[in-house]
Structure 1
Amino acid sequence: METETFSITIEAVKKAQQKISSVVKTTPLHENIRISKDFNAKISLKREDFQPVRSYKIRGAYHKMNSLFEDGKTGRGIVCASAGNHAQGVAFACSELQIRGIVFMPVTTPKQKLEQVQMFGGSFVEIKLIGDTFDNAKDAAIQYSLDNNAEFIHPFDDAQIIEGQATLALEILEQTNELIDYVFVPVGGGGLISGVVSVFSVLSPKTKIIAVEPKGAASMKAALESGTNVELSSIDKFVDGAAVQKVGDLSFAISKNYISDCIAVEEGKVCETILELYNRDAIVLEPAGALSIAALESYRELLNGKNVVCIVSGSNNDITRMEEIKERAMLYKGIKHYFLVNFPQRPGALKEFVLDVLGEKDDISFFEYTKRNSRETALATVGIELSDANDFSGLVSRMKNLGYFESYLNADPQVLNLLI
C-alpha cells in the first residue's frame, strides 16, 4: 500500500457504518450551554463517552475484527497493543465474535482500564503488561503476532481501523444541517483524525479540522512541522490515551494536507478542564477525552459566533488519579507552589511564618520538616495554595524579606515529580 496516495472513501465509510451498527451506538451531539456562553459560540460535544466501552475506539476495533472474522482470518486469534481504550474495543469485539485475543498494555496503564478490558473480554482475552509506554507494548505485540501467526489489530495505522473511526465524522454530519466551522479532534496515533478529514474534506470541505495533542506527546505537531513523520525521543505519559511517540504513517499521509492547525495543550490545562466538566457539568472524562475542550482557549478570539464541535473521546478515568489531576490543575493555574523554606529552630517560628508570610486566605497543603538540634535553622518542604495567583510575587518577597526563602521547587520538574 502506498501511503502517499492512499485515501479513505465515503463509500467505504458508509459500508463500515452498516457493519458496526449492531454494536456501536449513535452518540449524542449536544450543545453545551455553559461552554457556548463562555466562548460566545455554539459549542457542541460529540459524546463518544456514551459508547459501550466509553470511547470511540470500539468503532475501528469492531470494524477491523468483524472484517477479519468474515474473511476467516481469526482462527489463530488476534493480538493488539493499547494504552487502554483500543484494548477495550478489541476486548468487546473478542467477546461478541468469540475470538481469542492477547492484549498487550503498558505497565503504567491505570487499573480501571485494565479491569474494564478484562470485564469486556471475559474468558476470550488475556492481558500482558509490557514496558512503560504504548510503543513498548506495541513492539512486543507485533513480535508476538509474528511468532504465533496471529492477526495484529493496530490501534490507528490501519485502513479498516480508520474507516471505522471515520463513521464518527459521518455521524456528526448526519446529526446537523448547519455548517460546522471547526471540529476539534484529539490526536494520539492519528486514526481518528485521519478518518475525520477523510469525511469532512469531501462532505464539508469548508470546515476547519483542528488537531489537539498533549504538549508532552505532540507527535503529530512535530510531524507536520517537519513535513515528514517523525518519532519523539521521549513523551509525557500523563495523557495516556494520546501518549504516542509517533503517529501512524498511514494516518499522517491521509491527514497531513487537511489539518488546518495542530494545538499542543499543556497537561495542566487538560486537568483544569476535567475538573470544570466534572464540577459544573457532571461529565466525567479521562485526560485524552478532555483534550478537544481544553484546546478551545487557544482559539477563543476566533470562535466568536462560530459553530464548533469538540469530539469527547473517552471517559475511562481512574478515581485514584483525581488527586494528581487536581494537583496538576492548581500548578497550571498558578495557585499551588512548593518551596524549600529556611525555618529558625525555635518555638513559634511556624506561627510567625503563617501570620507574616501567608495571605489571609492562603493555605499550607504540604509540610515536611526535620528538626536538627545541632543547627540554628533547618529546611522544610512547604506546599502553599494561594487564594489568588496574582499574589505569588508578594509571597516570594515576604519570604525573602523575612529570611525564610531558600529555593522555589516548581521550576525543577524532577523535584516536582517527586512531590506530586
Structure 2
Amino acid sequence: METDTKNQLDFEAANQRLKGVVKRTPLEYNAGLSAKYECEIYLKREDLQVVRSYKLRGAYNMISQLSAEELSRGVVCASAGNHAQGVAFSCNALGTKGVIFMPEITPRQKITQTEMHGHGNIEIVLTGDTFDDCLREALIYTEAHQMTFIPPFDHYRIIEGQGTVGLEILEDLPDVEAVVMPIGGGGMAAGTSSYLKQHVPGVYLIGVEPEGAPSMLKAFEHGEPITLPEIDRFVDGAAVKRVGTLTYEICRELLDDMLLVPEGKVCTTILKLYNEDAIVVEPAGALSVAVLDACKDKIKGKKVVCVVSGGNNDIARMQEIKEKSLLYEGLKHYFIVRFPQRPGALKLFVTSVLGPHDDITRFEFIKKNDKENGPALVGIELQSADDYPALLKRMLAHRFNVLELNKDRTLFEYLV
C-alpha cells in the first residue's frame, strides 16, 4: 500500500477510542459450515454489535475526533440504515445534533432503530429511492447549514474505525489464512484489508457483493469507480451505485478476489443461518457466508473468517426472503395457464398434472369476467427442483397451454 495511505490509518488509536463504546464482537467457530467446506470457518459476529452492525466503528471514530466547534454545529449523514444507526448512537454519546438522510425505501425497522439510538439528538429525512439519491440531498444540506458530513465509507477516519474489525480478528485468530468480507461502499473491506495485510501479508482476502449491485467489481473492470445506471436494492446494506475513491484504491490493491452472489442465494443463506444456527442476519450480513460455494476450492483446508456484517433484518421482509429463496432454488414456479375449454379441466389439472408433493400456492384468473375459459396465474411449490421437468411434461401431455413466468422477467415482475 502507498506510504501516505498507511500514514493516514492508525488502527490501534482507533481501537482505543472505541473501547467502552463499541462492543468487541465474538469470533465464533461454526462446525456445520466447517464440515461442509472442509476447512475451519469462523463467523465474526458484527450482527451482535451495539447497533447490530460494524458501522458504529467508523462513525464514532470520526465524530469523536471533531473539534468542540464542529460538534456544536452538528453532523449530517446519508445512509441506507446501518451507518445511520452508528451516527445516531454517536450523536447521543457525544452530545451533538445529527441530521440523517435515508432512502424512502429504507425498512421501517431500521428507521425505528435509528430514532431509538439517537434519543432525540437526531432528525431523520427520507428522500430518494437509493443511497446515492439521498447522498446528494445530504451534501446540499450539509453545505447550506455549515455542518460536518460523516460519510458512510469514503474517509480515512471511517475506514480506520471500520478496520478495527480486522484488528479484533487477528487478536482472536493470529493464524487466520482467509477472510471473506461483504462490500457496499467498501469502507470495512478497505480498513480490514489494510490492517490484515500489514500484519499477515499472506492472508487471502475475498470481497463479495450482491449480483444486482456490483459497484466494486465494475470499478475494478473499468480501472476507476463508476456510477452504475441502476441496481437491485434488495441487499440494501450493500446496494450502492458507486464505491468510494479511497476504498476503491485500497481494495484494488489488497483484495485477492472479488465475487458476486445472486440475491436468491443470499435469501437461502439468511434462512439457513436462522434455522440451523439461530443467527438473525440482514441480506448484506449473509453475503460472506452465501459466497462460500463459489470459493470452496480456494478456502479448503484453511482457517477462514466470514464477517457477518449486520443483523438489522425487518421481520416483515421474511416472506419476501422466503419467496426469493424458493425461486432461486427452483422450488417455486409461476405459470399463466390457459385451461382447455372442456368440462373438468381444473379438476384434471389438480389430480393428474400436479405431482404427489406439488402444492398450489397461488391461483387467480387474470380476466375476471372470463373465468370459464380465461387464463389463470398459477403458483406451484415443489418438494424438489428435480420434479419440475416432469410437471411440465404432464402439463403438455394433458394439453394445457402454459407460459413459464419464471423465464420471462418482465411478465414475472408485472404479474407476480
Question: Is the shorter-chain TM-score for this pair beyond 0.5, marking a shared fold?
Answer: yes
| Deviations 1:2-32, CA, capped at 9 Å, x for gaps | x987414597110010011120011100111
Q: Which segments of 5 or more consecutive residues in structure 1 lack a partner in the other structure?
A: none
Structure 1 segment 344-383 matched on structure 2, within 5 A: 344=340, 348-369=344-365, 377-383=373-379
Contact in 1 for aligned 2:186/2:244 (Cα 8 Å): yes
**Matches of 1:15 and 1:181, distance apart in 2:** 25
Aligned partner of 2:43 among 42, 45, 48: 45
Of the three residues 125, 131, 134, the one matched with 2:128 is 131
> C-alpha distance in 1, partners of 2:25/2:371?
65
Aligned Cα root-mean-square deviation (Å): 1.8
Note closer, same or farther for the CA distance 1:403–1:104 as it changes in structure 2 (3 Å cut): same
Q: Are 1:173 and 2:170 matched, yes or no?
A: yes
Distance 1:103-1:374 versus aligned 2 partners, 3 A rule:
closer
Aligned-pair CA distance for 1:408: 0.9
1:8 touches 1:163 (CA, 8 Å); kept in 2? Answer: no
Which stretch has the larger CA shift, 341-350 or 205-214?
A: 341-350
8 Å Cα contact 2:333/2:380 also seen in 1: yes
SS of match in other structure, 1:217: coil
Distance verdict in 2 for CA 1:410–1:374, change over 3 Å: closer
**SS at 1:123 equivalent:** coil
Judge conservation of contact 1:8–1:195 (CA < 8 Å) in 2. Answer: no
2:342 equivalent to 1:326 = no
Q: Deviations for 1:36-65, whole angstroms, at most 9, x for unmatched residues?
A: 111111000000011110000000000011
Worse-superposed segment, 301-310 or 147-156: 301-310
Shift of 1:392: 1.5
TM-score normalised to structure 1 length = 0.95
Alignment correspondent of 1:224: 220
Task: Give me the whole-angstrom Cα distance separating, in 1, the residues matched to 2:270 and 2:370.
Answer: 48
From 65, 70, 90, give the equivalent of 1:73. 70
Question: What residue identity is the alignment partner of 1:112?
Answer: Q
Amino acid paired to 2:384: D
Cα offset for 1:176?
Answer: 1.6
CA–CA distance in structure 1, aligned partners of residues 174 and 145 of structure 2? 49
CA distance in 2, matches of 1:184, 1:321: 25
Q: Secondary structure at the match of 2:99?
A: strand
Say whether residues 1:90 and 2:87 are aligned partners. Answer: yes
Q: State the alpha-carbon separation in 1 of the partners of residues 112 and 400 from structure 2.
A: 47
User: Within 2, Cα distance between the matches of 1:34 and 1:355?
Assistant: 40
Q: After TM superposition, what 4+ stretches of structure 1 lie above 6 angstroms from structure 2? A: 371-376
Paired residues for 1:147-166 under 5 Å: 147-166=144-163
> What SS does the aligned partner of 1:216 have?
coil
Distance 2:10 2:304 in 1: 26
Tell me how far apart the structure 1 counterparts of residues 231 and 413 of structure 2 sit (CA, whole Å).
15
Tell me, what secondary structure is at the counterpart of 2:407?
Answer: coil
Look up the match of 1:300. 296
| Aligned residue in 1 for 2:114 | 117
Structure 1 residue 301: deviation in Å? 2.3
Counterpart in the other structure of 2:234: 238
* Contact map agreement 1:216 1:266 (CA 8 A) in 2: yes
SS in 1 for 2:123: strand
SS in 2 for 1:381: strand
Residues 92 and 121, structure 2, Cα contact 8 Å, conserved in 1: yes
Inter-partner Cα distance in structure 1 for 2:280 and 2:7: 34
Q: TM-score, normalised by structure 2?
A: 0.96
With 193-202 and 82-91 compared, the bigger mean Cα shift is at: 193-202
Where does residue 416 of structure 1 map in the other structure? 412
Distance 1:380-1:32 versus aligned 2 partners, 3 A rule: same
Note if contact 1:49-1:313 (Cα within 8 Å) is conserved in structure 2: yes
- Tell me the SS of whatever aligns to 1:410: helix
Residues paired across the two proteins, number: 416
User: Are 2:361 and 2:380, in contact at CA under 8 Å, matched by a contact in 1?
Assistant: yes
Secondary structure at the counterpart of residue 311 of structure 1: strand
Distance 2:271 2:29 in 1: 19
Q: CA deviation at 1:303?
A: 2.3
Hey, what's the Cα distance between the residues in 2 that align with 1:391 and 1:306? Answer: 37
Is this contact kept in 2: 1:345–1:371, CA < 8 A?
A: no
1:168–1:375: structure 2 CA closer, same or farther, 3 Å change rule?
closer
Q: List runs of 5+ in structure 2 lacking aligned partners.
A: none
Following the alignment from structure 1 to structure 2, what is the Cα–Cα distance between the partners of residues 7 and 111?
38
Contact 1:335–1:388 (CA<8 Å) still a contact in 2? Answer: yes
Q: Secondary structure of 2:212's match?
A: helix
Deviates more, 1:184-193 or 1:302-311: 302-311
Note the C-alpha offset of 1:346.
Answer: 5.5
Secondary structure of the residue aligned to 1:96 is helix
| Cα distance between partner residues in 1 of 2:410 and 2:4 | 43
The yes-or-no answer on 1:284 pairing with 2:280 is yes
State how far apart, in whole Å, the 2-side matches of 1:30 and 1:12 are. 26
Is residue 134–residue 244 contact of structure 1 (8 Å, CA) maintained in 2? yes
Q: Any conservation in 2 of the 1:10–1:198 contact (CA below 8 Å)?
A: no
Instruction: Provide the rounded CA distance (Å) in 1 between the counterparts of 2:23 and 2:341.
Output: 64
Distance verdict in 2 for CA 1:64–1:76, change over 3 Å: same
Q: Percent identity?
A: 50
- Aligned partners of 2:401, 2:254: CA distance in 1, in Å? 51
1:362-389: per-residue Cα shift (whole Å, max 9, x none)?
Answer: 1111111257777862200001111110
Could you report, residue by residue, the CA deviation over 1:256-310 in whole angstroms, capped at 9, with x for unpaired residues?
1111111110000000000000011100000001000001010122222111000
- Give yes or no for contact 1:91–1:118 (8 Å, CA) kept in 2: yes
Residue 249 of structure 1 is matched in structure 2 by 245
Q: Aligned partners of 2:275 and 2:164: how far apart in 1?
A: 31
Is residue 338 of structure 2 the alignment partner of residue 342 of structure 1?
Answer: yes
- 1:18 is matched with 16
Give the Cα separation in 2 of the matches to 1:165 and 1:119. 22
Q: 8 Å contact 1:42–1:305 — kept in the other structure? A: yes
CA displacement at 1:229 relative to structure 2: 1.4
Could you tell me how far 1:191 is from its partner in structure 2?
0.4
